[in-house]
């Protein structure tokens, strides 16, 4: 039986303003079209060194062990946890959204003694609450927190938590999937031990790699584990030998084109400069939130802890949020995200990450939402949302 041959690939052109992936620069797409070379070719090893150096700059760390895991951000999460945790280890996980919940699941699957520290979705954890949990739990192997909770739009403060964990003999593991390249991620200043991210958010690279950095302290813990890491593919001890300059022991075939893409996306990040890039994300988020407020959308995350890269707002009462998102996609070619878990049907998640964080995109999504909410009788003063955003830009 012969299978029919599909037509040439021609997906629709979308404006990606959801929780990921973000828009990708033409420079990155061109880099992916670069001819392949072998993953052990000396020329490719030079490229790997360049990627590592730029990742250290993005993470703001001096950690020698700074690499890109072959897999999406969830692979980074799993690698960060399964290498550190052994059966019976006590691990405290901050659960205030989908990704804290996922970290907790991995701890359980790894045989760890899970201690959940929970607050309502959209809120964050105080230093006092974390310290009390560590003291109460006794001997703690690690504390795991999500810096930028994609499901709620909440930004967790990480400052001083590394020292707190170290004072109690614990490691600090941090998820920066929706923050790296969009808001400050200062690994060494935090004293964080294992920090991972993803390429498809603020780095504006296609999904497929998970940047990860490991402190010397954490690396000693990994090397001293009694048994083998339960994951062969994500065993950092073996992967380290592939990324180690001068060693380059074969582990798996690296996704060469994705490494090309990450290299170019990091070049773009560092050309712009971290501080100007962070300021750009803050500006466009402020304008977007002003416009959404004019449409009757209240912020979901607690005040003072709201992400500029992922803006989560409550849907106006009486609105079918899924129908609006569907109309945005089909009529305006704009993608935004809906809620997950207890926030399903209640919030919209608008990502302004990397290439997506631009004034024209803010105006486009506000204009489209205003048209759709006008149809539903929720807009009394046409043009108010865009005007509110433009006032922010004018200031």
What is the Cα 346 distance to its own chain's centre? 22
Q: Is the domain of 92 the same as that of 231?
A: yes
Same domain, 330 and 308: yes
Q: Is residue 11 part of a domain?
A: no
- Report d(CA 92, CA 169) in Å as an integer: 13
Cα separation, 136 vs 170, in Å, equals 13
Q: Does residue 3 fall inside a structural domain?
A: no
Is 6 within the bounds of a domain?
no
Q: Which residue has the tokens 């073996």?
A: 238
Cα within 13 Å of Cα(358), Cβ side: 14
Whether 18 is in a domain gets the answer no
State CA 45 to chain mean position distance.
26
Burial label, 184 (beta-carbon count in 10 A; 0-12, 13-18, 19+): middle
pLDDT confidence of residue 298: 97
* 1 part of a folded domain: no
* End residue of a domain, out of 235, 252, 270: 270
Both 245 and 312 in one domain: the answer is: no
pLDDT score recorded for residue 377: 87
Q: Mark whether 46 and 101 lie in a shared domain.
A: yes
Non-local CB neighbours of 271 within 8 Å, separated by 6+ positions: none
Range of the domain at 76: 26-270
Average pLDDT over residues 335-361: 98
Query: What integer is the mean pLDDT of 264-293?
Result: 98
Output the average pLDDT for the chain: 96
Token pair listed for 99: 């990704």
pLDDT band at 339 (very low <50, low <70, confident <90, very high): very high
Residue 245 CB: number of other CB atoms within 10 A? 11
Strand partners of residue 35: none
pLDDT for 92 equals: 98
Give pLDDT, residue 106.
98
Domain endpoint, select from 241, 270, 299:
270
Predicted confidence (pLDDT) at residue 243 exceeds the cutoff of 90 = no
pLDDT for residue 241:
83
Average pLDDT rounded to a whole number, residues 16-23: 98
Same domain, 186 and 205: yes
70 and 197 part of one domain:
yes
- Report the CATH number at residue 35: 3.40.640.10
For residue 390, name the pLDDT band (cuts at 50, 70, 90).
Answer: very high
Measured CA to CA, the distance from residue 114 to residue 230 in angstroms comes to: 17
**Percentage with pLDDT > 90 across the chain:** 93
What's this model's pTM, rounded to 2 decimal places? 0.97
pLDDT of residue 199: 98
What is the pLDDT, as a whole number, of residue 348?
Answer: 98
Considering the domain architecture, whether residues 148 and 162 belong to the same structural domain is answered as: yes
The tens digit of pLDDT for each residue in 134-189 reads 999 999 999 999 999 999 999 999 999 999 999 999 999 999 999 999 999 999 99
183 close to 311: Cβ distance less than 8 angstroms: no
Of 180-194, 244-258, 309-323, least confident by mean pLDDT is 244-258
Same domain, 266 and 281: no
Q: What is the pLDDT of residue 379?
A: 83
Read off the pLDDT band of 365 (50, 70, 90).
Answer: very high
Q: Please name the residue ranges forming H helices in the chain.
A: 26-32, 42-59, 73-82, 98-109, 127-137, 161-167, 187-190, 216-223, 236-243, 256-272, 274-294, 321-332, 359-375, 384-394
**Does residue 244 have a pLDDT over 90?**
no
pLDDT tens digits for 287-318?
Answer: 999 999 999 999 999 999 999 999 999 999 99
- Whether 8 is in a domain gets the answer no
pLDDT at 247: 78
Give 3-state DSSP helix, strand, coil % of the chain, rounded to 5.
45, 15, 40
Residues 382 and 257 in one domain: no
Residues 173, 313 share a domain: no
* DSSP, res 181: T
Residue, of 378 and 220, whose pLDDT is higher: 220
Q: Which residues, in sequence order, are CB contacts of 94 under 8 Å at separation 6+?
A: 100, 117, 118, 119, 125, 130, 143, 144, 145, 146, 156
Same domain, 263 and 277: no
Structure tokens at 372: 């759709």
Residue 376: both structure tokens together: 């539903």
Instruction: Give the tens place of pLDDT for each residue, 51-72.
Output: 999 999 999 999 999 999 999 9
pLDDT band at 245 (very low <50, low <70, confident <90, very high): confident
Residue 369 lies in a domain: yes
Q: Which of 213, 242, 270 is the C-terminal boundary of a domain?
A: 270
**Closest-CA residue to 113 (of 82, 90, 140):** 90
Per-residue CA distances from 50 to 16, 59, 187, 248, 394 (Å): 29, 14, 19, 15, 39
- Tell me, what's the pLDDT at 2? 86
Q: The CATH number of the domain where 286 resides is what?
A: 3.90.1150.10
Number of domains making up the chain = 2
pLDDT for the residue 381: 83
pLDDT at 148: 98
Examine the domain organization and report whether 214 and 277 are in the same domain.
no
Q: 13 lies in a domain?
A: no
């Amino acid at each position: 039986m012969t299978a029919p041959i599909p037509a040439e690939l021609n997906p629709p052109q979308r404006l990606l303003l959801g929780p990921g992936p973000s828009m990708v620069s033409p420079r990155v797409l061109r880099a992916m079209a670069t001819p392949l070379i072998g993953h052990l070719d000396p020329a490719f090893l030079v490229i790997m060194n360049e990627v590592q150096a730029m990742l250290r700059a993005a993470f703001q760390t001096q950690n020698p062990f700074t690499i890109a895991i072959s897999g999406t951000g969830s692979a980074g999460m799993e690698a960060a946890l399964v290498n550190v945790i052994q059966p019976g280890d006590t691990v405290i996980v901050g659960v205030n959204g989908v990704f804290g919940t996922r970290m907790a699941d991995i701890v359980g699957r790894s045989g760890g003694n899970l201690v959940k520290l929970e607050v309502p979705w959209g809120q964050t954890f105080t230093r006092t609450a974390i310290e009390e949990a560590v003291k109460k739990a006794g001997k703690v192997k690690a504390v795991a927190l999500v810096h930028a909770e994609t499901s709620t739009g909440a930004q967790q403060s990480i400052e001083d938590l590394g020292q707190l964990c170290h004072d109690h003999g614990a490691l600090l593991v941090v998820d920066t999937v929706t923050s790296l390249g969009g808001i400050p991620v200062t690994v060494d200043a935090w004293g964080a031990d294992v920090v991972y991210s993803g390429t498809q958010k603020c780095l504006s690279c296609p999904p497929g790699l998970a940047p990860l950095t490991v402190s010397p302290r954490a690396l000693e813990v990994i090397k001293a584990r009694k048994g083998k890491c339960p994951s062969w593919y994500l065993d950092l001890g073996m992967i380290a030998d592939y990324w180690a300059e001068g060693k380059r022991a074969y582990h798996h075939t690296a996704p060469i084109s994705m490494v090309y893409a990450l290299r170019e996306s990091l070049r773009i990040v560092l050309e712009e400069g971290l501080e100007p890039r962070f300021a750009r994300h803050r500006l466009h988020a402020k304008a977007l939130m002003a416009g959404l407020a004019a449409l009757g959308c209240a912020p979901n995350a607690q005040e003072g802890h709201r992400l500029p890269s992922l803006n989560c707002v409550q849907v106006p009462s009486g609105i079918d949020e899924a129908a609006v998102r569907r109309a945005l996609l089909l009529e305006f070619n704009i993608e935004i995200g809906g809620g997950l878990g207890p926030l399903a049907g209640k919030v919209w998640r608008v990502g302004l990450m990397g290439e997506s964080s631009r004034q024209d995109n803010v105006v486009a999504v506000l204009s489209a939402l205003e048209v759709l909410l006008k149809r539903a009788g929720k807009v009394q003063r046409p043009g108010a949302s865009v005007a509110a955003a433009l006032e922010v830009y004018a200031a």
